[in-house]
Structure 1
Amino acid sequence: MVHRTIEVRAEAGLLRIALARPERRNGIDDVVIGELNAALDVAEADPDCRAVVLRGSPGVFSDGMNLEAAAGGGASDGGKAFFGLLERFTTIPRVVVVQVDGQVAGGGVGLVAAGDFVHATERSTFALPEALWGLLPCCVLPFLVRRVGFQKAYTATLSTQAVSAREAHRIHLVDELTEQPETALRQLVFRLTRLDGVVIGDAKRYFRGLSVVDARAGENAVAEFSRLMSSPVVRQRISDFVTHKRFPWER
């Protein structure tokens, strides 16, 4: 299958996915979401696959929502699709490993937070800038709260400040700090290939019952995201950026 926004490669025991639009800072839109879901279909159809590895580009993992695509509308559908993708990360009977080497923002933090294991380099940073646009990281927060707790997610949302890799590791957004992500991955896959594949699905299903992410969380996230994206002020800020490359705080 030919992809426009990602690169996919199958290896023994795992499927590698790379976000492949560095010129757009690996922004997330409906095309990216659709292609990521298609890649997950491939992983789920392979009984020997134990892990899905998602990475970005050197220096940037993902800047989150593709603002050019968002300027075209469809916020409600986009929010629903994105939340569904993050939820699938937590339910697919494969271990999702996220490799981060660089900047992560907005929806990119959601991809990280929904992963089962996160390996990051020291130069990586994590930020939720949505409030600067008059938005909130609605779809990201249920998964971020699940990982780091209410207060850390709350302060990250309101401060909009980037968190260093070391701080992300301290608050458990990152599981392992490493300059050798392949070594960390191979050690993990070595253990995973000794598990019955059914166990991974059973573990995810059981832990889902203990988490804050459920159908109601999804409905609330999509509804609030749609409401905020419908604001004339927010729409104008996005339009100004797409047309003039002017950020809201530059007025």
Structure 2
Amino acid sequence: MDRMSYDSIVVTTSEHRLTVTLNRLMRQNALTDTMLAELHEALDLAEHSPSCRMIVLQGANGVFCTGMDLDEAAKDVQVAGDSPPRGAQFFSLLRRFTAIPRVVVSKVDGRVSGGGVGLVAASDFVFASERSQFSLPEALWGLLPCSVAPFLQRRIGFQGSYSMTLSTLPLNARKAERLGLVDEVAEDPGLPIQRLASRVTKLEATTIAAAKRYFARLWPITEEMEAAALRELDNLLSSASVQHAIAGFASRDRSFPWER
């Protein structure tokens, strides 16, 4: 087994599997431009490995991913009219999850929020431990899960996505399983992944690619959806109230908008 360390992820490879561990534990595995670029690089590695059939994405220490890094967002909030680079890079990553000719699996053990829900929703399979929780807290900041919503709606439907957005309440693993966000809840999520791997490794990469193309035609994530998501994110990030909320959190007092 080979192991490669980047700034914010760790990649291990075996004959048929590439495992990506999000590795910004001091920042709750929040997404930065660097992490997104490295995740794209990991997908490149999987695509260039003829024997690879499965990509497993996981966190550590009770955290999968908590979405946008607000400290980084506070430094480079976009002015009105500019398309946020991170929004485009993130949407592109989710789209790649749905198109890459490899089976993408999210292995969740703990907290998932914001953009982390997007990573889960865009995966082909999701296996979670009992202690896992899933939430979309963006509305508390005056934001919306713009890039997440198309992929989440495709996975769990309109009302589930809408209620997660407006309520901002976390879902436990069993509720997420009932909604279809999680495929199976297990004490050890690695066990159902092993069962899946025993079948997936028998598939040709061309078959995986054909399945993804066909089902993408049945429920497409269009360029118009992407453009609308990035426009809405740009508009929201340009709001003075949102910028104030993010800046307040990034300051020394780490205050949340609802605490001020």
Q: Does 1:246 pair with 2:255?
A: yes
Q: Does 1:145 pair with 2:148?
A: no
Q: Does 1:178 pair with 2:172?
A: no
Q: Which amino acid counterpart does residue 30 of structure 2 have in structure 1? A: G
- Deviation by residue 1:146-205 (Cα, 9 ceiling, x = unmatched): 000001100110000001100000000000101122221111111011111110000001
CA distance in 2, matches of 1:86, 1:45: 19
Q: Which amino acid counterpart does residue 200 of structure 2 have in structure 1? A: L
Q: Does 1:84 pair with 2:92?
A: yes
With the length of structure 1 as denominator, give the TM-score of the two structures: 0.98
SS for the counterpart of 1:209 is: helix
With the length of structure 2 as denominator, give the TM-score of the two structures: 0.95
Q: Does 1:223 pair with 2:231?
A: yes
SS for the counterpart of 1:239 is: helix
- Deviation by residue 1:36-55 (Cα, 9 ceiling, x = unmatched): 00000000001110000000
How many residues align structurally?
Answer: 251
From 119, 128, 137, the equivalent of 1:111 is 119
Which residue of structure 2 lines up, in the alignment, with residue 210 of structure 1?
A: 218
Q: Which amino acid counterpart does residue 32 of structure 1 have in structure 2? A: M
- State percent identity of aligned pairs: 49
Cα displacement (A) at 1:123: 0.4
CA distance in 1, matches of 2:104, 2:170: 24
Which residue of structure 2 lines up, in the alignment, with residue 158 of structure 1?
A: 166
SS for the counterpart of 2:147 is: coil
CA distance in 1, matches of 2:238, 2:76: 9
Q: Which amino acid counterpart does residue 106 of structure 1 have in structure 2? A: G
Contact 1:166 1:177 in 2 (8 A): yes
CA distance in 1, matches of 2:20, 2:91: 19
Contact 1:142 1:212 in 2 (8 A): no
| Moved >2 Å (runs of 4+) | none
SS for the counterpart of 2:218 is: coil
- Deviation by residue 1:88-147 (Cα, 9 ceiling, x = unmatched): 000000000000000100000000000000000010000000000000000000000000
From 34, 54, 58, the equivalent of 1:55 is 58
Cα displacement (A) at 1:242: 0.5
Q: Which amino acid counterpart does residue 53 of structure 1 have in structure 2? A: V
Mean alpha-carbon deviation: is it higher for 160-169 or for 54-63?
Answer: 54-63
Calculate the aligned-residue CA RMSD, in Å.
0.9
From 63, 67, 76, the equivalent of 1:64 is 67
Cα displacement (A) at 1:12: 1.8
Q: Which amino acid counterpart does residue 70 of structure 1 have in structure 2? A: A
SS for the counterpart of 2:245 is: helix
1:6-45 alignment runs, 5 A limit: 6-45=9-48
Q: Which amino acid counterpart does residue 175 of structure 2 have in structure 1? A: E
CA distance in 2, matches of 1:194, 1:226: 44
1:126-141 alignment runs, 5 A limit: 126-141=134-149
Contact 1:80 1:222 in 2 (8 A): yes
SS for the counterpart of 2:19 is: strand
Contact 2:147 2:226 in 1 (8 A): yes
- Deviation by residue 1:2-33 (Cα, 9 ceiling, x = unmatched): 41000000012010000001110000011010
CA distance in 1, matches of 2:181, 2:87: 22
